[in-house]
């Protein structure tokens, strides 16, 4: 029997990350896969003991049943949006997959590459916010960084404001 594929999707619960998640579910996920949502929260402002525990390594892998529960997610400082939960709940049932979330704190570029190596992930999808050239020059593109520095295949799903 083949080993389980671990497919990552970078999620920040924005429209472009929801689109990347839906694209991954529609085009990549197969029965038996583990779909791992990787979210990176900004550092700082966390007094909570749980977050201090996981700051260096990220949270444990949190199963879908727990990250659907706002009370559980509150202790990690994350509020998952209903659309993301709906997409993964439907995928879990229809495709018979395991859905987990892993939360990191810090720089999204570094932490997504860390997730690839430490979860470990066989594949990662990231959304592309489509920042303008000036913003991208100042902020640096997370997707560009991960494509160039990640140690697994990375797909960038572009978010278009207009639908065809």
Q: How far apart, in whole angstroms, are the C-alpha atoms of residue 134 and residue 129?
A: 13
Query: What is the architecture, at CATH level 2, of domain 6-158?
Result: 3-Layer(aba) Sandwich (3.40)
Residue with tokens 């993301």: 84
Of the candidate ranges 1-5, 40-44, 109-113, 137-141, the one whose mean pLDDT is the lowest: 137-141
pLDDT at 3: 83
- What predicted TM-score, i.e. pTM, was given to this entire model? 0.88
DSSP secondary structure string for all residues of 9-22: EE--SSHHHHHHHH
pLDDT by residue (tens digit) across 116-164? Answer: 999 999 999 999 876 666 665 655 688 889 999 999 999 999 876 544 4
8 A C-beta contact, residue 9 and residue 38: yes
Percent share of the chain, pLDDT over 70: 84
pLDDT by residue (tens digit) across 45-66? Answer: 656 556 677 778 899 999 999 9
């Amino acid at each position: 029997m083949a080993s389980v594929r671990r497919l990552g999707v970078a999620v920040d619960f924005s429209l472009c990350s929801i689109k990347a998640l839906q694209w991954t579910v529609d085009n990549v996920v197969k029965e038996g896969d583990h779909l791992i949502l990787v979210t990176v929260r900004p550092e700082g402002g966390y007094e909570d003991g749980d977050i201090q525990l996981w700051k260096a390594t990220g949270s444990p892998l949190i199963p879908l049943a727990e990250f659907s529960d706002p009370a559980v997610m509150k202790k990690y400082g994350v509020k998952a949006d209903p659309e993301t939960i709906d997409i993964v709940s439907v995928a879990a049932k229809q495709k018979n997959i395991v859905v987990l979330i892993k939360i990191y704190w810090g720089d999204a570029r570094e932490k997504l590459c860390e997730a690839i190596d430490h979860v470990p992930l066989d594949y990662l999808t990231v959304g592309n916010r489509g920042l303008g050239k000036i913003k991208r020059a100042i902020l640096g593109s997370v997707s560009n960084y991960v494509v160039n520095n990640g140690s697994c295949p990375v797909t960038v799903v572009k978010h278009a404001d207009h639908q065809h």
